[in-house]
Structures are given as C-alpha cells and as structure tokens.
Amino acid sequence: MNFLSAPWRWSFISKFSGEKKCIFCEALKLKDKDSLVCYRGENCFVILNKFPYNTGHIMVVPYEHVDSPDKIDYKISCEMWDLMNKSLKILKEKYKPDGFNIGMNIGKTAGAGVKDHFHIHIVPRWEGDANFMAVTGNTKVVSYEINNVYDILREEFNKG
C-alpha cells in the first residue's frame, strides 16, 4: 500500500486539538471576507478552505452544529446537495478542472479535522496537480491567490 503524505495540513489539524470552539460556527460570526464564507443560504453556507488541498477547495456546511448527515432534516440535506451542484457548476466554469474529489469525513477516525460539525468537501483536480513538491519538498503548490479565488466564487454564488 502506498501512502501520500500531506504535511501542510498538520498546522490546521493540530491547531484545534483540545479546543472547544467550532471553526465553522466561529466563521459565521465574522465578516464573510475574513472567514472566507462565499455564500450564505437558508440552512447551509459555502466556505473556501483556508488550508486547501487544491485551488478552489470549498466546503458546504449546515448552519446546524451536528456531527453526521443522518442527524439533519431532509430540507437541509436537499440544500446541501443543491449547493454542492452549484459549486461544481461554478468551479467548472471558472477554473476548468479535469475532475473533482467530493466527500465527507465523519468522525475523527475517518479523518475529520472538524469532527463535530460535518461538511462536504469539494476539491477541484487537474492533471498533474499532485507532484513531487508536497512529498519531497514539504511544499504544496496552489496556483491561485486565495483572496482572488474568494472574490470570484463569492460573486458567482451571489448572482441572482
């Protein structure tokens, strides 16, 4: 079995060990630009990942602080799915990725960095985006400046 190290994620994961505050609930208290919230819906919001696996890595998060999708109302599930699809459409149009990784990590053992507030990850992928830099150089290459990505995504999510 091969393993791919992602050492750039450790500063994010370790920052919250033992901490009681939820980064998603705290993000909602800040100005959207400061917290990278791209869109606020009725029951869910879309937030840009501050420590992305790749450019345009966003998450769809319910407002309700709950640890698993089986604990939310059907209406919230539908909105999350709709926002995931809208995210795909926007990312395809604006960044033209070759594919996507979409998923959830439910529980600490499953790899959840935020184990008490579940969310959907949407990670755009391009041919050749995983390379030697992260493995041998302990450096992750992200092609776009995060504030520019935020401005583009926010504008697209909030179009009428």
DSSP secondary structure string for all residues of 43-72:
SEEEEE-SS-SSTT-EEEEESS--S-GGGS
Angle at the Cα of 36 from the Cα atoms of 31 and 39, rounded to 5 degrees? 85
Catalytic residue among 57, 65, 117, 119: 119
Record: fold of 36-157: HIT family, subunit A (3.30.428)
82-98 pLDDT, tens digit per residue, is 999 999 999 999 999 99
Q: What is the pTM of this model?
A: 0.81
3-class secondary-structure state, position 23:
helix
* pLDDT exceeds 60 at position 117: yes
Specify whether 119 is catalytic: yes
The domain ranges of the chain are 36-157
* pLDDT exceeds 60 at position 132: no
Angle, helix 146-157 to helix 74-95, in steps of 10 degrees: 120
36-48 pLDDT, tens digit per residue, is 999 999 999 999 9
